[in-house]
């Protein structure tokens, strides 16, 4: 278990939004799903993505590449970004816009999947991503395209589940390859995962946030002294081990408090606090509100029952 695993644990394509469009020039599509993340993969041909404020961030997307667009603002995928505004039409990944069948010569076949990310933990991933990222064709997911297209065309039982999981896999590969690139400005915790001392400590904290960790016990995980761990952790991650642990615990707690039967006391125990008072104090210091207030804000609204007159 590591931070990357945890951030992606709730990012799933269950039931999804997984489809293919055959596009013949001229074409321009504005994606209006309001998704937190949209994965775009050209199976044939290429196009241009225009995203960000006013669509001013324009990136070319070629065959063999994969792009992730951070939402929820709409973005455009077009054959010509200069004329896209003249002929753009709104689409949704789950909508009826998908065309199937053979792709004519010169057409683009686009695979698009939308992810609606909810929760504080996966939200930490969104905050470290640019508006648009493109992973070049030397990444390790390119070999899946023929298989993906074959699965899209097949009508075998379990097709949707297979495609959902393949899409999840492709999203994870694309993100991992992006973070490994120098232009990604990867967060400190990601770079630190490869460190001999800090990596094991990060994995230990994420695997068992409920443990009563101290700097000494974390140093034992790293097999270094407390002084060495404190310095290396701060140099790589940008904060102390215990400060990072507290932030991670409070992010986990914020999501746990949204569960229907959660209590402040039960959540406190699950994130390493012996009593609700100490947990509440830490939560309010980090999050700015009490756990009870946060729970009321995020709790799902119970459906109203009809009253007889």
For residue 135, report the phi and psi dihedrals to the nearest 5 degrees.
-100, 120
pTM: 0.81
CA 92 – CA 89 distance, rounded (Å) = 10
Residues 71-109 pLDDT 10s = 899 999 999 988 887 888 888 776 544 445 555 666 788
What pLDDT is recorded for position 284?
A: 95
Residues 153-189 pLDDT 10s = 666 666 667 777 778 888 888 888 898 888 888 888 9
Token pair, residue 175, equals 């993100």
- Domain 3-184 coded CATH 2.60.120.280: yes
Q: What is the mean pLDDT of residues 30-48?
A: 88
Token pair, residue 303, equals 């459906």
Q: Which CATH superfamily is domain 190-298 in?
A: Homeodomain-like (1.10.10.60)
* Domain map (residue ranges) of the chain: 3-184, 190-298
């Amino acid at each position: 278990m590591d931070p990357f695993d945890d951030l992606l644990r709730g990012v799933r394509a269950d039931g999804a939004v997984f489809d293919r469009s055959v596009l013949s020039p001229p074409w321009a599509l504005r994606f209006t799903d309001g998704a937190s993340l949209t994965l775009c993969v050209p199976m044939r041909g290429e196009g241009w993505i225009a995203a960000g404020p006013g669509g001013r961030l324009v990136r070319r997307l070629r065959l063999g590449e994969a792009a992730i667009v951070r939402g929820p603002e709409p973005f455009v995928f077009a054959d010509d970004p200069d004329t896209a505004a003249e002929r753009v039409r709104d689409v949704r990944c789950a909508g009826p816009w998908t065309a199937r069948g053979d792709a004519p010569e010169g057409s683009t076949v686009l695979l698009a999947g939308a992810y609606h990310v909810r929760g504080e933990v996966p939200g930490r991933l969104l905050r470290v991503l640019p508006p648009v990222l493109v992973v070049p064709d030397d990444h390790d997911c390119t070999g899946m395209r023929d298989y993906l297209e074959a699965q899209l065309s097949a009508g075998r039982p379990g097709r949707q589940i297979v495609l959902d999981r393949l899409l999840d896999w492709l999203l994870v590969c694309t993100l991992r390859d992006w973070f490994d690139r120098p232009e990604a400005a990867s967060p400190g915790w990601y770079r630190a995962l490869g460190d001999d001392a800090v990596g094991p400590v990060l994995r230990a904290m994420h695997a068992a946030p409920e443990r009563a960790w101290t700097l000494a016990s974390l140093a034992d995980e790293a097999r270094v002294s407390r002084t060495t761990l404190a310095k290396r952790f701060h140099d790589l991650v940008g904060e102390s081990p215990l400060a990072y642990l507290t932030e991670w615990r409070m992010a986990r707690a914020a999501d746990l408090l949204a569960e229907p039967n959660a209590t402040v006391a039960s959540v406190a125990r699950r994130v390493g606090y012996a009593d609700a008072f100490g947990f509440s104090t830490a939560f309010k210091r980090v999050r700015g509100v009490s756990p009870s207030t946060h729970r009321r804000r995020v709790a799902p609204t119970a459906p109203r029952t009809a009253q007889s007159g």
